[in-house]
Amino acid sequence: MCWAVPLRLVEVSGQAGKVELAGTLREVGLQLISEPQVGDYVLVHAGFAIQKVDQQEAEETLRFLAEVFAGREEA
């Protein structure tokens, strides 16, 4: 199974950028999206930002994922 996770873009440097989630930074490729800007939420899959998403959608998805994984820790 493959997942694309929404992350907040905190740095843009050419065709590379850094995304953040809960204080963890990851480098991603930005070649697949147009006009990436710091503060954008992007879906990240296999090391690449593949699509921009709006902040509300990203936050809802992240809350859902947190609930799913919190339930797994209790099992």
Give the DSSP letter string of 24-73. Answer: EEEEEE-TTSSS--TT-EEEEETTEEEEEE-HHHHHHHHHHHHHHHHHHH
The pTM assigned to this predicted structure is 0.82
pLDDT at 2 over 90: no
> Could you tell me the maximum CA-CA distance found in the chain, to the nearest angstrom?
43
Which domains are seen in the chain, by residue range?
Answer: 5-74 (2.30.30.140)
**Residues contacting 46, CB < 8 A, separation 6+:** 2
What tens digit of pLDDT does each residue of 21-71 get? 889 999 999 999 999 999 999 999 999 999 999 999 999 988 988 888 887
Name the nearest CA neighbour of 21 among 2, 46, 44, 52.
Answer: 44
